[in-house]
Structure 1
Amino acid sequence: MIKLCYKEYEWKLTQGACKSFFDKTGLDLYTVFGDYINASLESQGETLIGRMQTFSKLHSRDIATKAFHAIISAENPEVKINEIEDATYRVSWQLSDRPDDLSEPWPLVMLSTAFAINEYMNKNLPKKKADI
């Protein structure tokens, strides 16, 4: 579940989502999400603000929006990209003092989604395509 600006979105990682993202950006979807995992590991020990700066500099909000939209629309095609653009704009790139996890800044949502994708891939990699 992707929690973005007080809305929860189901998502699905598909070959079509990867192709759609590549066609729009020229970037590989797995690599973009992998960048967040790598940055998380490399920035351990930094201040929280320093880590947020690191995550926000990896890819632009536009790329993050397109990444979210690719995997969200694979599960729910009714979600339009302008809804995701608005959500990433509203949550911004820095932490807030709100006590919930529904308004996390988009770089942290990218990070949590990256770990969810990694977990999904590790769990499903040994399965045959017909079993998924």
Structure 2
Amino acid sequence: MVQVFRVSLPESYLLILNPDSTANGFAILARALYRASRSGKPAVCVDCSLLTEMPDDAIELLLSYHYHFSSKGLNLVLCHVCPAIRKLLSERGLSACPPILPSLLDAGQLSALKEEAVLVA
């Protein structure tokens, strides 16, 4: 499963996923996403750069939180996603997937653009 490092940034909440062989990785990821949802930040960025694979239950959890965040006007963005994980996500349908961006810098720019759009509207 995964180990999760959490970082609270000025405009977003960063989760860095790290491969881990412990069996409770799903619970750790679920708790990290829950905390991120309660952080008050408009965006949650999930850095997948250290992962080469992701279990189906972790993917389903990310998709579920993407839906949950979207309904609350929050953004869940995935960054540095390897081709194997990207393929697994795309198999679930693009409409269900959170945005996948090349870098954290791109994620920050996306969040800023969405925030500006809300302010203008």
Do the structures match in fold with TM over 0.5?
Answer: no
When the two structures are superposed, what TM-score results if normalisation uses the length of structure 2? 0.27
- Structure with the largest fraction of strand: 2
When the two structures are superposed, what TM-score results if normalisation uses the length of structure 1? 0.26
- Structure with the largest fraction of helix: 1
